[in-house]
Structure 1
Amino acid sequence: MSAFSAIGEEQERDRNEYTPGVEPQPTWCPGCGDFGVLKALKGAAAELGLSPEEMLVCTGIGCSGKLNSYFESYGFHTIHGRELPIARAAKMANDGLTVIAAGGDGDNYGIGGNHFMHTARENHDLTHIVFNNEIFGLTKGQTSPTSPKGHKSKTQPHGSAKDPIRPLSMSLNAGASYIARTAAVNPNQAKDIIVEAIEHDGFSHVDFLTQCPTWNKDAKQYVPYIDINESEDYDIDVNDRRSASEMMYETENALHEGTVLTGRYYIDDERLSYQQEKKRIGEMPDEPLAERYFDDDYEWERSHDMWLDKHK
């Protein structure tokens, strides 16, 4: 009997199934955009019919790191900026899991930026949700990689002298095969985008604008917002890199000028995921590696034996 027999069962799910009994009520500040991420993720999981046992949520440090405490599934609370390598390893060991990596803009675009770049480059099959509130919230309001130039904070009392990171453009240049931006104030779009991101085979990057009413009052509520895929004022071909790049550049400029653009920016359904590439070249088995721990008849392979044989 498989230890992962829950994986693959199609069942109707209710969003309340993803509310844990131990810590059901989030302790985020009133008005925090993180509530929007939790709501969207619950709605997406229910729409996809995923059981909590089919999902793993890896989080970093910060207010966003509490997500796996408030979402009923397997969870791994890592250290600063390290949710992506843990998520990658879990997906490699059990390809049947739906793996979500979630963290803040400081965690993923700053402290863990190198992991972000190479996870996108390798196109690992997981969904990466970045809580982007343009501030370090848990540590009480320091300037983050996405804080706008001139933003005043405890660490930059005279205003930041640095230009902010362009997360969408950075993701495209690094190699992500699904890139979108949504906002906590747009719950329906957020849920639909997370559904698409989970269904996509490859690295899905969702830049999720989450207002911080306590420590970043400049960002307010990220409203009004415009969906670039529905608006007649914007023209984008999400399957074309040049079109996506131009729209991303406009979006990242507009945000700090008071216009919030959201939507799907780039989708490449043709590119193989890292897991698929590894299987193609014979370096990853079709069955989950994790299954071997529950197979008494499996004859374990030792990598050192392979190298020793070559030197005999």
Structure 2
Amino acid sequence: MSAFSAIGSGEEREVDQNEFTPSIEPQPTWCPGCGDFGVLKALKGALAELEKDPEEVLVVTGIGCSGKLNSYLDSYGFHTIHGRSLPIARAAKLANPELEVIAAGGDGDGYGIGGNHFMHTARENHDITYIVFDNEVFGLTKGQTSPTSPMGHKSKTQPKGSAKNPIRPLSLSLTSGSSFVARTAAVNPNQAKDIIKEAVTHDGFSHIDFLTQCPTWNKDAKQYVPYTDIQQSDDHDVDLGDRRSASEMMHEAEDALYEGEVLTGRFYKDENRHAYHEEKQERGDFPSEPLAERYFEDGDWERSYDYIDRHA
């Protein structure tokens, strides 16, 4: 085993989800009834069932209510600035591909401020899981309109109602290049856990639009019920490996959400596409040995200036 424990020993063991609870558990500052509790519980359950050791996991978060996730999860954690969780997560995965990297952000953090990073991380198909806490509002800053707020939604920044159509996160994800796209909700904990497990084990960029009710600042969205699992419904059919079928199902789900019907489940999965670091390795442009491990073998750290010709 490397001196860097997050590379892992390869030993399999049964993991209890309570191992992901900090020994000195911080008092959660999420509001009572917040959907973010559902994300935390589903993530703990998924990682435990996958037998992931806390030292094998890195959770990278942005700013907002979702940014507190790694404060309540006992694993490696990195709290970035607003909208920047994905570039940090990408760098960590490239330095140590064996590390299980999970990025998280809110709809404002991920689809607004960090929207550019979202598109290009999906396009490059980095092997990380991205959970977006989607409550259709900026929660931590007290209820401003977000990229997913429906047209007409009244807030402090749009007191007469939003004049803009919301973005379509599932469609945007597919168009950008995500190789796994799903939607779940905090009110459906069993489905949420199973979808996170599939996302984590998927080889490539996994995007989960996780509907998280905000009872304090977004009473319009209520609890995201009733919900329908499209994989268990006779009224909906999607071929997960077909982009056109997935696109049509996503469009239907994005329309239905603002009409009172919540369609959740898996929408797209491409199992044949290489993850970014695998593609780079195949082209001979990426080391087979993890960069993080090389730094701990003999203490002889490599520096970029050793490989750059200096100007005279």
Taking structure 2 as the reference length, what is the TM-score of the superposition? 0.96
| Matched residue SS, 1:103 | strand
Determine the structure 2 residue equivalent to 1:3: 3
The answer to whether structure 1 residue 143 and structure 2 residue 137 are counterparts is no
Give the direction of change, closer, same or farther, for the CA distance of 1:281–1:303 in structure 2 (3 Å limit): farther
2:88 alignment partner, one of 86, 89, 113: 86
Per-residue deviation, residues 150-171 of structure 1 (Å, max 9, x unmatched): 0000000000000001000000
* Structure 1 counterpart of 2:108: 106
Q: Secondary structure of the equivalent of 2:68?
A: helix
Of 14, 23, 26, which residue of structure 1 is paired with 2:25?
Answer: 23
SS where residue 34 of structure 2 aligns? Answer: coil
Amino acid at match of 1:220: K
Shift of 1:10: 1.3
Q: CA deviation at 1:304?
A: 4.8
Q: CA separation in 1, counterparts of 2:4 and 2:264?
A: 37
Q: Distance in 2 between matches of 1:292 and 1:114?
A: 32
Alignment of 1:152-191 (within 5 A): 152-191=154-193
Distance 1:159 1:56 in 2: 39
The question of whether the paired residues in 1 share the 8 Å contact of 2:54 and 2:75 is answered with yes
Alignment of 1:27-66 (within 5 A): 27-66=29-68
Distance 1:25 1:297 in 2: 39
Is contact 2:50-2:197 (8 Å) kept? yes
- Structure 2 unaligned spans of 5+: none
Rounded to whole Å, the distance in 2 between the matches of 1:305 and 1:55 is 31
The alignment-based identity, stated in percent, is 76
Give the Cα–Cα distance (whole angstroms) in 1 for the partners of residues 131 and 14 of structure 2: 24
2:5–2:55 contact (8 Å) kept in structure 1? no
Query: What amino acid is aligned across from residue 76 of structure 1 in structure 2?
Result: F
Letter aligned with residue 205 of structure 1: H
- Alignment correspondent of 2:222: 220
Shift of 1:278: 1.1
Equivalent residue in structure 2 for 1:261, among 251, 260, 263: 263
Q: Does 1:96 align with 2:90?
A: no
Residues matched between the structures, number = 310
1:86-123 Cα offsets, whole Å, 9 max, x none, are: 00000000111000000100000000000000000000
Offset of residue 296 of structure 1? 1.1
Counterpart amino acid of residue 253 in structure 1: D
Q: Which residue identity does 1:242 align to in structure 2?
A: R
Code of the residue aligned with 1:211 in structure 2: it is: Q
TM-score by length of 1: 0.96
Which residue identity lines up with residue 309 of structure 2 in the other structure?
Answer: L
1:305 shift after superposition: 5.0
Tell me which stretches of 4 or more aligned residues in structure 1 moved more than 6 Å: none
Q: Secondary structure at the match of 1:188?
A: helix
Per the alignment, residue 285 of structure 1 pairs with 287
Which amino acid counterpart does residue 295 of structure 2 have in structure 1?
Y
User: Structure 1: how far apart are the matches of 2:214 and 2:299?
Assistant: 53
The DSSP-based 3-state class of the residue aligned with 1:45 is helix
C-alpha deviation, 1:22, in angstroms: 2.8
Per-residue CA distance 1:73-93 (angstroms, 9 max, x = gap): 000000000000000000000
Q: Distance in 2 between matches of 1:81 and 1:14?
A: 32
What value does the CA root-mean-square deviation take over the aligned residues? 1.6
CA distance in 2, matches of 1:98, 1:28: 26
